[in-house]
């Protein structure tokens, strides 16, 4: 599965393969607001799709502005409670890396991931209510789609940690490892991760995906994921410009090489699930924690899912207040709790010990 090329050659070949797949372009919807069939077909065949030009430049600038503030407040080192300016760290949502030697040299830890951006950045909450992102969700998962989890991947220039090759879906496979999801996208499924690009994602810093790998679970029958040092010949980078969105089926094999390039990568990840794939499912949850370093066995009952679904109408309302000229998305699903975004709602979703993300839905 390895290639004999240099990394630069592998990147260039990967770029060409990515651009030849026919799974990128603007989000096109029919009169009912559903994604065009050719987009759905390309997504179902490849296990990922790139939507170009979804989020406009001004909104990306707002997102980056707030993100820089959140990044500034990261702990200066693993285990510390102050940031580089000596200010108290407000939230324990940073996944950091950096070895003891780097710490001894006085170098700060590297921030690789920031979890739960909907309560850290109002711009992220508004993005979550973006009409096109929600139309995409309804097209893939039905009008009553429900939430998954959100985070921000930060691959710093020259120091971005790799993301190991993996398939996120851990639940809806048969005993031989075949996906329960059908080739047309129906059936029990693991949802998708949709990465909104804040900056250019090149082959050297991007997420990579193995097209068509969402049909078979690598871990079935004692199998393993390849190590990230393996340059899988058929893998392709998810090439994005700021405002583009890469939607990756969570059953696809995907990963990212260490970012040794001069360009940092920042992608905000949102995702949604099919309601019937979530309610009643028993599995191992790895997302409903301050950072993804724990696990719990869980069965998602209706109340759990519907309380989490409240974040969708709240985000739509937060967006409506900020962009009064835009036609808001009308969510057809059900949820528990209020749908008006205001300071009471903010207090409710951030209440210590009962934050909205305590009901994140790993499948
Ligand atoms: O963007 C990345 O590097 C990793 C994303 C990822 O692992 C995921 O979407 O599950």
- On the question of pLDDT at 197 being above 50, the answer is yes
The alpha carbon dihedral of 218, 269, 95, 112 has a sign of positive
Rounded to the nearest angstrom, the distance between the alpha carbon of 175 and the centre of ligand 1 is 26
Instruction: Please compute the mean of the pLDDT values over residues 6-33 and round it to a whole number.
Output: 97
Q: How does residue 3 score in pLDDT terms, banded at 50, 70 and 90?
A: low
- On the question of pLDDT at 106 being above 90, the answer is no
Rounded to the nearest angstrom, the distance between the alpha carbon of 254 and the centre of ligand 1 is 7
Ligand 1 nearest atom to the CA of residue 256, by list position: 3
**CA 110, CA 104: separation in Å to the nearest integer?**
14
Rounded to the nearest angstrom, the distance between the alpha carbon of 31 and the centre of ligand 1 is 33
Residue of the CA atom closest to atom 6 of ligand 1: 255
Q: Please give the sequence-ordered ranges of beta strands (E in DSSP) within 122-279, or none if there are none.
A: 146-147, 151-155, 163-166, 192-197, 208-209, 236-237, 245-249, 254-256, 265-273
Q: Which residues contact 143 (CB under 8 A, 6 or more apart)?
A: 332, 333
What DSSP line would sit under 257-326, residue for residue? Answer: --B-SSS-EEEEEEEEE-HHHHTT-EEEE-SSSSSS---EEEE--HHHHHHHHTHHHHHHHHHHHH-TTS
Picking from 283, 278, 279, the residue whose alpha carbon sits closest to that of residue 297 is 283
Rounded to the nearest angstrom, the distance between the alpha carbon of 214 and the centre of ligand 1 is 15
Beta strand pairing call for 48-51 and 24-25: parallel
State if residue 197 touches ligand 1 by the CB under 6 angstroms criterion. Answer: no
pLDDT digit string (tens) for 41-93?
999 999 999 999 999 999 999 999 999 999 999 999 988 999 999 999 999 99
State if residue 267 touches ligand 1 by the CB under 6 angstroms criterion. Answer: yes
Ligand 1 nearest atom to the CA of residue 267, by list position: 1
Instruction: Please compute the mean of the pLDDT values over residues 173-184 and round it to a whole number.
Output: 97
Q: Please give the sequence-ordered ranges of beta strands (E in DSSP) within 136-235, or none if there are none.
A: 146-147, 151-155, 163-166, 192-197, 208-209
Q: Do 227 and 164 contact (CB within 8 A), yes or no? A: yes
3-state secondary structure of 92: coil
Long-range contacts of the stretch 78-84 (C-beta < 8 A, 24+): 78/103, 78/109, 84/108
Give the per-residue pLDDT at 241: 98
Q: What percent of the chain has pLDDT over 70?
A: 99
Instruction: Please compute the mean of the pLDDT values over residues 322-334 and round it to a whole number.
Output: 98
Mean pLDDT over the full length of the chain: 96
**CA 158, CA 262: separation in Å to the nearest integer?**
6
State if residue 167 touches ligand 1 by the CB under 6 angstroms criterion. Answer: no
pLDDT digit string (tens) for 217-246?
999 999 999 999 999 999 999 999 999 999
Beta strand pairing call for 208-209 and 24-25: unpaired
Q: Do 165 and 231 contact (CB within 8 A), yes or no? A: no
Q: Measure CA 323 to chain center.
A: 24
Q: How does residue 108 score in pLDDT terms, banded at 50, 70 and 90?
A: confident
Give the per-residue pLDDT at 2: 52
Picking from 61, 114, 56, the residue whose alpha carbon sits closest to that of residue 244 is 56
Give the per-residue pLDDT at 250: 98
Picking from 114, 60, 113, the residue whose alpha carbon sits closest to that of residue 242 is 60
Residue whose CB lies within 8 A of the most ligand 1 atoms, among 256, 261, 264, 362, for a mutation test = 256
Instruction: Please compute the mean of the pLDDT values over residues 265-269 and round it to a whole number.
Output: 98
Q: How does residue 121 score in pLDDT terms, banded at 50, 70 and 90?
A: very high
Q: What percent of the chain has pLDDT over 90?
A: 94
Distances (CA, A) of 281 to 181, 195, 301, 310: 15, 25, 8, 20
Which residues, in sequence order, are bridge partners of residue 192? 249, 272
**Domains within the chain, CATH numbers bracketed:** 7-280 (2.60.120.620)
State if residue 168 touches ligand 1 by the CB under 6 angstroms criterion. Answer: yes
pLDDT digit string (tens) for 310-322?
999 999 999 999 9
Q: How does residue 130 score in pLDDT terms, banded at 50, 70 and 90?
A: very high
Rounded to the nearest angstrom, the distance between the alpha carbon of 195 and the centre of ligand 1 is 8
- On the question of pLDDT at 1 being above 60, the answer is no
DSSP element (H, E) containing 86 = none
Q: Do 305 and 280 contact (CB within 8 A), yes or no? A: no
Picking from 48, 50, 94, 52, the residue whose alpha carbon sits closest to that of residue 73 is 94
Give the per-residue pLDDT at 103: 74
């Amino acid at each position: 599965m390895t290639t004999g090329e240099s990394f630069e050659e592998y990147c260039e070949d990967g770029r060409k393969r990515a651009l030849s797949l026919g799974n990128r372009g603007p989000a096109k919807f029919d009169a009912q607001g559903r994604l065009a069939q050719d987009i759905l077909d390309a997504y179902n065949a490849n296990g990922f799709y790139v939507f170009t030009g979804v989020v406009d430049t001004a909104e990306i600038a707002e997102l980056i502005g707030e993100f820089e503030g959140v990044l500034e407040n990261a702990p200066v080192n693993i285990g510390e409670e102050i940031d580089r300016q000596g200010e108290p760290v407000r939230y324990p949502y940073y996944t950091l890396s950096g070895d003891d030697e780097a710490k001894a040299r006085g170098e700060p830890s590297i921030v690789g991931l920031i979890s739960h951006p909907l309560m850290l950045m109002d711009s992220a909450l508004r993005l979550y209510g973006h009409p096109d992102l929600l139309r995409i969700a309804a097209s893939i998962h039905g009008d009553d789609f429900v939430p998954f989890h959100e985070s921000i991947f930060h691959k710093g220039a020259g120091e971005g940690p790799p993301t190991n090759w993996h398939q996120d879906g851990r639940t809806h496979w048969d005993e031989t490892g075949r996906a329960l999801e059908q080739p047309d996208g129906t059936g029990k499924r693991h949802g998708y991760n949709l990465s909104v690009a804040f900056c250019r994602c090149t082959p050297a810093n991007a997420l990579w995906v193995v097209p068509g790998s969402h049909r078979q679970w690598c871990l079935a029958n004692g199998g393993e994921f390849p190590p990230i040092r393996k340059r899988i010949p058929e893998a392709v980078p998810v090439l994005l410009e700021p405002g583009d969105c890469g939607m990756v089926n969570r059953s696809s094999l995907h990963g990212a090489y260490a970012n040794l390039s001069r360009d940092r990568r920042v992608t905000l990840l949102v995702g949604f699930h099919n309601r019937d794939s979530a309610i009643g499912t028993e599995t191992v949850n790895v997302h409903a924690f301050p950072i993804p370093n724990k696990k719990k066995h869980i069965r998602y009952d209706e109340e759990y899912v519907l309380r989490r679904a409240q974040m969708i109408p709240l985000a739509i309302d937060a967006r409506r207040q900020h962009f009064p000229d835009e036609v808001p998305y009308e969510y057809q699903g059900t949820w528990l709790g209020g749908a008006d975004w205001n300071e009471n709602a903010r207090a409710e979703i951030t209440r210590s010990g009962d934050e909205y993300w305590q009901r994140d839905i790993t499948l």
